[in-house]
Amino acid sequence: MAKKIIGNLKLRIPAGRATAGPPVGSTLGQWGLNMMDFINPFNEATKGMMGKDVIVHIQVYEDRTFTWNCLGQPVDDMIRNAIGIQKGSGKPHVDKVGKITRAQLEEIAKTKMDQLNAIDLDGAVKVVAGTARSMGVEVVD
């Protein structure tokens, strides 16, 4: 019989730099999980992406074991890196912080295609464009 899942966690962690401190330690500690069983394999798996944040999904089972899956860099980080800004706008429909081209959107969409709720590349580009607009980034052709 399959193990019963008692929790699903989603963390944003700097690649290759997970430590027993927050956010990893406090989150895993709440579930009674061995932090080092996550930290060492995570740091090893993501050392090639140093300097970037990555999204990690962790499934916690009733016997206090877990599985994890690294989803890579978040779309908002990819947009910020593509246009060279530090953060999005506080008033996205009023204050624009930059411009992004369709080619840049397509590149991001191709990278994240398997994680987006889209059937084809055009749909994925629309999802990424929506994220950009919500950050105060103007989409240009």
What does the chain come to in residues?
A: 141
pLDDT, one tens digit per residue, over 74-95 is 999 999 999 999 988 899 888 9
78, 125 Cβ separation under 8 angstroms = no
Across the strands, what pairs with 55?
12, 72
6's enclosing H/E stretch is strand 5-14
Tell me how far CA of residue 79 lies from CA of 4, 46, 107, in angstroms.
37, 20, 10
Q: Which CATH superfamily is domain 5-72 in?
A: Ribosomal protein L11/L12, N-terminal domain (3.30.1550.10)
pLDDT in tens, the chain (141 residues): 689 999 999 999 999 999 988 889 999 999 999 999 999 999 999 999 888 999 999 999 999 999 999 998 999 999 999 999 998 889 988 899 999 999 999 999 999 998 888 899 999 999 999 999 999 999 998
39's CB contacts (< 8 A; 6+ apart) are 18, 19, 20, 24
The whole-model pTM stands at 0.82
CATH of 75-140, one of 2.102.10.10, 1.10.3720.10, 3.40.50.300, 1.10.10.250: 1.10.10.250
